[in-house]
Structures are given as structure tokens and as C-alpha cells.
Amino acid sequence: MRYPQGTPTQPEIIAVAISKLELKPGDVFADIGCGSGSVSISAAGLVRQVYAIDNRDEAISATEENIKEHGIRNIRALKGEASALLSELDVDCAFVGGSKNIETVLDLIMRKTRRFVVSAVRLETAASAIKIMKQNERFIELIHIQISRGYELAGGTMLRPENPVFLIVGGKQC
């Protein structure tokens, strides 16, 4: 897989996020701040249509290359500001991997979707997303995930931690 500048979403984070989204076969899914498209690619087999959205040329290029490499046909990469693009799309669920214009993006997502997950590595982004979701009665849960990977050290195995990630789950309360 090709990765643009930045840190790709770890597979374990994607797995938890996808499970929290409760995706259905007929869903239209938006991956906002798609980066390399790894979340889009993971969701593609579970939904009808995926929109991979990013405002960076290198992210769209990497996403398109990775989609082609995986032979996936139900992902459409869209370059531009998420808030502008989302206003034109009907989506059921969304993953927000970028924090630019989080307030505007969340406002649109909360009105358009059944379920969404915000991934945050910064405390400020997590706090902002939680506050907005709670004010709009769309907050479901906060998950903090810390992953460590094993590495060889002096004939043994040590653990080296990855950056911790917050997943903030939102949606319509049942």
C-alpha cells in the first residue's frame, strides 16, 4: 500500500472503528480525511458505496492507487473540502480521520448519518468532538486504544507502543 505524508490508521484501529459503525450491505459510507484509503478499502466489502474524501492531492493519488491495487470498484475518491462535498452526498455512516474543520464536518455528519466514528490522536480534537456530539445528543461512547507491537531484543521480545488513539462514536440514540 502507498501512504501519503502522515500516519496511516493502524489495522487494529480500523477493525474497532468498523465494528462500531455497524455497517450494513446497503449503506453508503464516507471516509473523511481518507489518507491512503485504508479505511475505505476495509469498509468496501461491507457496504454498497464508499466515498473516500481528502483535500490533499497526494492522499487522493495514494487512495486511487491503493483502490486499483486491491481491485475494488465501489469506492469513489473525491478531492476537496469535506464540508463542501458532504453537503452534496447522501451517506449513512462516516469515519472521520482528519480533524480539519471538525465542527462543520460534524454538523453535517450528525444531520446526515445514522452512525459515525471520529478518530483522534490529539486530546483537543477528542474533547471538541465529544463536546459537539453531547450538545447535539449524538454521543454514544469514547474508546481509548493503545497498541503495542513486539520486537526482537537481545534474544527476547519487547513491546514498543504505537501512538494512542481515541475513537469517539456518535449516532442516533435508540
Q: What is the pTM of this model?
A: 0.92
Q: Would you say domain 11-171 falls under CATH 3.40.50.150?
A: yes
Q: What mean pLDDT is predicted for residues 142-152?
A: 96
Domain boundaries along the sequence of the chain: 11-171
pLDDT computed for residue 7 by the predictor: 62
Q: What is the pLDDT of residues 57-88, one digit of tens each?
A: 999 999 999 999 999 999 999 999 999 999 99
pLDDT computed for residue 3 by the predictor: 60
Contacts of residues 109-112 at CB distance under 8 Å and 24 or more positions apart, as own/partner, are: 109/30, 109/32, 109/170, 110/136, 110/138, 110/170, 112/86
pLDDT computed for residue 8 by the predictor: 73
pLDDT computed for residue 120 by the predictor: 95
Handedness of CA 168, 99, 95, 171 (dihedral sign): positive
First CA to last CA distance, the chain: 38
* Alpha carbons 36 and 40: distance in angstroms, whole number: 9
